[in-house]
Structures are given as structure tokens and as C-alpha cells.
């Protein structure tokens, strides 16, 4: 038997292997080059693509530049100015540090790097990692890297690239995010000479958000900030009027680095449970600041993944902070809303759809560490400027509070007009007409009531005159009895009745008398479902299911007394503006909007 010889791989092969980890598509090239430009203290970065990066990529910055004596070394593997020793790996402040990016890109392309550090002005040209030319250049202070014919020497990898639209979309998405993470840097993106994006670099985060995701999106942003012992978070997130069909507009930035971490994304979307429809996601810009030794960015060559010290406390901080910011806002479905941007900007607005898993819910910690303060007593909404210079109508929605107990009285102060289509309640207040979806509104009230009972059960229960029997499979019976102690805490007392049957003798008083079997079946079914991973998820799902059953349905007559009771209960809700599934409970029409429909005023 022939003994196989162990060979040391050549630099060319190792560079190609490394390139497979660092450079998967043109977006990775743009990312690595832009990060180098940011590390070089650039204030202006220009990205020029040829055929969406498939033919050419050029990144030009006005940073510190590289001296001629070090220009060739910069393209070698594991050559970097970012770290000096192993201790530096545990406190990385720069975006780049591995010294692999330029060598990897150079090995799979036609590559030219030109740099002016104020003392030397030089270029070196490579093809498939081999130097083919060099000389004096004529470049302003900074660095320019040109990459052409990416993957020309690795056709299998080139074959697996997406079409031009997919590659341009990936690059654009990254550029939006890096511009948002660096609002103090002017970043420009063009393709085949056409300008696609440009940030001003004036350090106005909301302005960059509007340039990236549209003025309408930026105008619906809610600011949030908070901190705990390890982390400080801040940012903006949209209300329930703006949402996407994917998580691609969830931007997570850690110490200036755009990262990808599913647990952090889940923490954001957990805050929107019952506020947005299922499968819809907000636009969120989340900035996380912390000591560098609390994170590990040396996880993957792409440097997108990151590990956190005490990630659970960070997730809890994020979810509760965004949730509190949302709950302090008025989340009505308004036809028009206040904007800090002009009508000209509004007319150019484009709502970019740029990419999904069940939200995970952790056992939550104490909610004591709160410093956020909001003023919800008055929110002003201003109609956009009208072309014929007609006077702007200003609409105020006054959220009156009962001074004695700080209780919302907004819904109770509305004047009930009547019921439309036995589904929608018509109410008015000054010059505003409100439509309330009676089922959605009652469902929200019941959801919050049942959620509180499930999470803080009381002892108010009673014995059944005629016990209820329910049949299950042996496996389901076993699951139910494993959770018997938890079910007993809800006030449901049951025993084994033999022949795959359980008998329920005591139930809590909050279960409606006409829905006893239905409610009990739902509770036990949630216990036996295999996808239920913890108590929090079970209670959340159960509360949604039970609240729908208990609520008045559409096409049902409702008395004025019942309407007034419903309005009172809405004022008691923490989040009265959406049902548990994220649909709005009410919408409004101003007098001006109605007059436009009747042509009493000109558009």
C-alpha cells in the first residue's frame, strides 16, 4: 500500500482557499474595501460598480493612505496594521484585523491598488495574485482599489453568482447599512456611471435613514435608548404603519460594526409581538455600545458574526426598551402623519423592499432597570403642504389622562355615533371620524386580560357540579401530567380517569361558562404540542387563541352599553391600537380628508 505524502500547500492555493471564506460574491469585496477605508479615517468613500460589480468594482477614499514601502506588504496574507500581538485579538476596535481580505480578493481577480499617504504616490497591479506592473501614480490623498473580472480564474465560483439584480441588491443593502453605521462619512454608490445612493456625511442619522429606506420610513421612526451594566443601546424603529416582509431592514451595529446575529434580531422582533402582523418586520436601527473585551468578533473570516458576554441580558434590554418605546406611542393607522421632511422629498420617496424564523421567547428577568420617559399626553399630526397654497390643517389628538390615577381616557371621551355593517363602530371627536373594528378591539382587551391571568394566576376558581372529561392519546396524557403542577397553578385541578381520559373537577372563574370545554381543550392542546418550547411561548399563543374565542365577532349587533364598556376597557389596555395579531383596532379620517372625497376642497 502506497503511503500518501503530506505536502505543504503553496501560497497561491492557500490564498484561493482563504478567498473562498472571505469573498463569496461582489458584496464581500465591497464590504472589505469599505471597511479598510473606514479604518483609514476616511470622510468620503466612493464605490463605482461596472455591471453590478460582476465586471468591475472601484473603491476610492480620502483616508490616510499607504506608504509606497508598505503597499506590496498590504496585499500579502496575514499582513495588517490593526493588531500587533495576541492580546489585541480580545479588544479589537478596528473593522478589519485578520489581514486576509486584500490577499483573498487579489488572488481571484485583476487587482490594482493605488495610494497617496502625503509622502508617496504609487500603484501596484496584480493578476491572480501575481504582480504584473507598478509605478508612480497621480492620486489625491487616500487610496483607490480597483477589482476587475472577479473569479475569472475560478469559473465554478463565478457560475454560482446571482444575476445582476441580486448582486446589486446585496451590495446596495450593505452600503445602506454601513452608511447608517457611519453617518459622519459621506458614502456614495454608483453603477455604470449612474448614482444610486449618496449620504451627506453630516452625522444626521435620520437623514441617512431617509436616504437609504425612504422619507416615509424615516418619518415613522420612534427613538429609543437605555443601558444596563454591560451594554448601552440606542436607535430608531418604525411604528406599526411601516413594515417589511423580511428581516433585511433590521440593522444591528456593535461599536460601529454592522453585524449579523439571529438572537439579537429575535430580541427586536419580540418587541413587536401583537403589534405587527405575523411574518412582518419593522425597520430598526439598533446601535450597541460596550467595552471591546465584552465581544468576540474573531468568529468567522467575514467578521459579520459576533459573540457577546451575557447575551441574555442584552436581549432582554433590547426587547423591553423597544417595547416600552412602542407602548408609549399612539399607533393608530393614520392617513397622514407629521414629517420633518418637505413635500418634494416626500414625492421622491421609495419604500425599498430589500430579505425569517419563529420568535424565541426567553424567561424574562426583573423589569426594574428603567430610565425611559415619554410624554404621551399630546401628539400633533400635520397635513403635508398642499400645492395650491391652501392653509395647512393641523390635527391634534389629545390623550387626556385622569389626573387622579394617571389613567388614559381617550376612548371613553369619544362620542359614539353608531354601528356600521354590524362590524365597525363609528365615533367622533371634534373634526375627526374614528372607525373601530369591534372584534379586533375586544380581542385586544381579552388578550391583555388573559395574558395577565396566565402569567399571574389568582386563586379565584370553583368546583364544577358536573366534572368535565377529556380524551387524549397516551403520549398526550403523559405530556399533560408532566405539566400538571403548572396547570394547577392556573386553577385547573384534574386527575387521571383511565382509558386515555382525564377528569377536570375545578376550573378558574375567568373561563366563560359557555366555553368551558373549548377553553380547557385549548389549554391542554397547547401543553401537548411538540413545538411549544417554554412557558412564555405557550402562554403567548394560548392568550391569542382564547382571546379570539371570547371576543364579539364581526356581523354581530352590539348595544350602546356594550360599546361604552368596550371603550372603557380599551383605555385600560397597554397597547389598544392593534389586535394581538398586529391588525389595527381603529383608523381615523379628518374632516379635511372627508371634504376632499366630496370635492368640497381641491387636492
Q: What are phi and psi of 119, to 5 degrees?
A: -115, -40
* 494-498: average pLDDT: 90
Which residues touch 191 (CB under 8 Å, ≥6 apart)?
A: 48, 49, 50, 51, 52, 168
Query: What is the C-alpha separation between 62 and 40, in angstroms, rounded?
Result: 9
Buried b (16+ CB within 10 A) or exposed e, 241-268: ebbbeebbbbbbbbbebbbebeebbbbb
The residue assigned the cell 436581549 is 315
Tell me the pLDDT tens digit for each residue of 166-177: 888 889 989 999
- Return the CATH number of 11-198, one of 3.30.565.10, 3.40.50.300, 3.60.40.10, 2.60.120.10: 3.30.565.10
Query: What is the C-alpha separation between 123 and 139, in angstroms, rounded?
Result: 9
Q: For the chain, what is the total number of helices (H) and then of strands (E)?
A: 18, 26
Tell me the three cell numbers of residue 520.
380547557
The residue assigned the cell 495610494 is 115
Tell me the three cell numbers of residue 595.
371634504
Query: What is the C-alpha separation between 317 and 339, in angstroms, rounded?
Result: 29
Buried b (16+ CB within 10 A) or exposed e, 490-519: bbbbbeeeeeeebebeebbebbeeeeeeeb
CA-CA distances (angstroms) from residue 70 to 84, 141, 215, 227? Answer: 16, 16, 44, 42
- For residues 210 and 236, the answer to whether their CB atoms sit within 8 Å is no
Q: What are phi and psi of 455, to 5 degrees?
A: -85, -20
Helix, strand and coil content of the chain, in percent to the nearest 5, comes to 35, 25, 40
Has domain 375-603 been given CATH number 3.30.1540.20?
A: yes
| pLDDT band, very low/low/confident/very high, at 598 (cuts 50, 70, 90) | confident
- Tell which residue, 213, 190, 216, 187, has the closest CA to residue 200: 187
Eight-class DSSP state of 5? P
Which residues touch 548 (CB under 8 Å, ≥6 apart)?
A: 443, 580
Q: What are phi and psi of 436, to 5 degrees?
A: -110, 130
The tally of CA atoms less than 13 A away on the side-chain side of residue 231 is 23
Eight-class DSSP state of 529? -
Q: Which of 515-519, 529-533, 557-561 has the lowest mean pLDDT?
A: 529-533
| pLDDT band, very low/low/confident/very high, at 467 (cuts 50, 70, 90) | very high
Percent of the chain residues topping a pLDDT of 90: 32
Q: What angle do CA 268, 187, 183 make, to 5 degrees?
A: 50
* 21-28: average pLDDT: 79
Within 10 Å of residue 20's Cβ, how many Cβ atoms? Answer: 13
Domain locations in the chain as residue ranges? 11-198, 205-347, 375-603
Tell me the pLDDT tens digit for each residue of 263-311: 899 999 989 988 887 778 899 999 999 988 888 775 555 556 778 888 8
Tell me the three cell numbers of residue 288.
450597541
For domain 205-347, the CATH class is alpha beta
Strands (E), 73-214: 110-116, 121-127, 130-136, 142-148, 186-191, 194-198
* 377-385: average pLDDT: 32
Assign 3-class secondary structure to 382-445. Answer: ECCCCCCCCCCCEEEEECCEECCCCEECCHHHCEEEEEECCCEEEEEECCEEEEEEHHHHHHHH
Interhelix angle for 26-39 vs 164-181, to 10°? 20
Tell me the pLDDT tens digit for each residue of 244-263: 878 888 999 998 888 888 88
- Tell which residue, 138, 109, 105, 137, has the closest CA to residue 123: 137
Helix (H) / strand (E) element for 267: namely helix 262-270
Tell me the three cell numbers of residue 136.
508612480
The yes-or-no verdict on residue 35 having pLDDT over 50 is: yes
What is the rounded average pLDDT for all residues in the chain?
Answer: 77
Assign 3-class secondary structure to 350-400. Answer: CCCCCCCCCCCCCCCCCCCCCCCCCCCCEEEEECCCCCCCCCCCEEEEECC
pTM equals 0.61
Which residues touch 335 (CB under 8 Å, ≥6 apart)?
A: 587, 588, 589, 590, 593
| pLDDT band, very low/low/confident/very high, at 453 (cuts 50, 70, 90) | confident
Helix (H) / strand (E) element for 145: namely strand 142-148
| pLDDT on residue 83 | 45
Tell me the pLDDT tens digit for each residue of 312-362: 899 999 999 998 998 887 665 544 433 333 333 333 333 333 333 333 333
| pLDDT band, very low/low/confident/very high, at 12 (cuts 50, 70, 90) | low
- Tell which residue, 132, 123, 122, 127, has the closest CA to residue 110: 127
Query: What is the C-alpha separation between 113 and 120, in angstroms, rounded?
Result: 13
Query: What is the C-alpha separation between 148 and 378, in angstroms, rounded?
Result: 57
Assign 3-class secondary structure to 206-266. Answer: HHHHHHHHCHHHHHCEEEEEEECCCCEEEEEEECCCCCECCCCCEEEEECCEEECCHHHHH
Tell me the pLDDT tens digit for each residue of 102-155: 888 988 899 999 999 999 999 999 998 899 999 999 999 999 999 999 988 887
Amino acid at each position: 500500500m502506497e503511503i500518501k505524502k503530506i505536502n505543504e500547500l503553496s501560497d497561491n492555493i492557500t490564498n484561493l482557499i482563504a478567498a473562498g471564506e472571505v469573498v463569496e460574491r461582489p458584496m464581500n469585496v465591497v464590504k472589505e474595501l469599505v471597511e479598510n477605508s473606514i479604518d483609514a479615517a476616511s470622510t468620503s468613500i466612493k464605490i463605482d460598480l461596472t455591471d453590478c460589480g460582476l465586471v468591475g468594482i472601484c473603491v476610492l477614499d480620502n483616508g490616510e493612505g499607504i506608504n509606497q514601502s508598505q503597499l506590496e506588504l498590504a496585499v500579502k496574507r496575514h499582513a495588517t496594521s490593526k493588531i500587533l500581538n495576541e492580546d489585541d485579538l480580545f479588544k479589537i476596535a478596528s473593522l478589519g484585523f485578520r489581514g486576509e481580505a486584500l490577499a483573498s480578493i487579489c488572488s481571484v481577480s485583476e487587482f490594482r491598488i493605488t495610494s497617496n499617504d502625503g509622502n508617496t504616490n504609487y500603484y501596484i497591479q496584480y493578476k491572480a495574485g501575481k504582480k504584473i506592473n507598478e509605478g508612480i501614480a497621480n492620486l489625491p490623498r487616500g487610496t483607490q482599489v480597483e477589482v476587475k473580472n472577479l473569479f475569472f480564474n475560478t469559473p465554478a465560483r463565478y457560475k454560482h453568482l446571482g444575476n445582476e439584480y441580486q448582486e446589486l441588491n446585496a451590495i446596495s443593502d450593505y452600503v445602506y447599512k454601513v452608511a447608517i453605521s457611519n453617518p459622519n462619512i459621506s458614502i456614495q454608490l454608483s453603477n455604470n456611471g449612474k448614482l444610486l445612493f449618496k449620504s451627506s456625511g453630516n452625522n444626521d442619522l435620520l437623514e441617512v435613514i431617509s436616504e437609504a429606506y425612504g422619507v416615509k420610513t424615516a418619518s415613522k421612526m420612534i427613538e429609543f435608548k437605555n443601558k444596563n451594566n454591560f451594554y448601552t443601546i440606542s436607535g430608531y424603529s418604525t411604528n406599526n404603519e411601516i413594515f417589511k416582509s423580511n428581516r433585511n431592514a433590521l440593522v444591528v451595529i456593535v461599536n460601529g460594526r454592522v453585524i449579523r446575529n439571529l438572537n439579537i434580531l429575535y430580541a427586536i422582533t419580540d418587541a413587536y409581538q401583537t403589534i405587527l402582523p405575523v411574518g412582518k418586520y419593522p425597520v430598526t436601527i439598533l446601535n450597541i455600545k460596550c467595552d471591546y473585551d465584552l465581544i468576540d468578533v474573531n468568529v468567522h473570516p467575514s467578521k459579520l458574526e459576533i459573540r457577546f458576554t451575557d447575551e441574555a441580558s442584552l436581549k432582554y434590554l433590547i426587547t423591553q426598551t423597544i417595547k416600552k418605546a412602542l407602548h408609549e406611542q399612539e399607533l393608530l393607522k393614520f392617513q397622514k402623519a407629521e414629517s420633518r421632511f418637505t413635500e418634494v422629498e416626500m414625492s421622491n420617496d421609495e419604500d425599498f423592499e430589500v430579505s425569517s424564523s419563529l420568535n424565541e421567547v426567553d424567561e424574562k428577568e426583573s423589569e426594574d432597570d428603567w430610565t425611559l420617559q415619554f410624554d404621551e399626553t399630546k401628539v400633533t399630526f400635520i397635513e403635508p403642504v398642499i400645492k395650491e397654497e391652501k392653509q395647512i390643517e393641523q390635527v391634534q389628538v389629545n390623550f387626556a389622562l385622569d389626573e387622579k390615577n394617571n389613567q388614559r381616557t381617550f376612548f371613553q371621551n369619544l362620542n359614539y355615533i353608531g354601528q356600521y355593517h354590524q362590524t365597525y363602530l363609528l365615533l367622533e371627536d371634534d373634526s375627526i371620524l374614528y372607525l373601530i373594528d369591534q372584534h379586533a378591539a375586544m380581542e385586544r382587551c381579552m388578550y391583555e386580560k388573559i395574558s395577565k391571568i396566565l402569567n399571574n394566576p389568582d386563586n379565584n376558581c370553583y368546583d364544577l357540579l358536573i366534572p368535565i372529561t377529556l380524551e387524549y392519546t397516551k403520549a398526550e396524557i403523559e405530556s399533560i401530567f408532566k405539566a400538571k403542577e403548572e396547570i394547577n397553578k392556573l386553577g385547573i385541578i384534574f386527575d387521571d380517569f383511565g382509558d386515555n381520559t382525564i377528569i377536570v373537577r375545578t376550573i378558574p372563574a375567568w373561563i366563560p361558562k359557555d366555553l368551558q370545554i373549548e377553553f380547557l381543550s385549548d389549554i391542554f392542546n397547547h401543553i401537548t404540542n411538540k413545538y411549544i418550547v417554554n412557558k412564555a411561548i405557550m402562554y403567548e399563543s394560548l392568550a391569542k387563541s382564547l382571546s379570539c374565542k371570547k371576543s364579539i365577532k364581526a356581523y354581530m349587533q352590539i348595544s350602546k352599553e356594550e360599546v361604552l364598556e368596550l371603550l372603557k376597557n380599551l383605555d385600560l389596555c397597554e397597547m389598544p391600537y392593534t389586535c394581538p395579531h398586529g391588525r389595527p383596532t381603529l383608523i381615523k379620517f379628518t374632516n379635511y380628508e372627508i371634504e376632499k372625497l366630496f370635492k368640497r376642497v381641491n387636492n
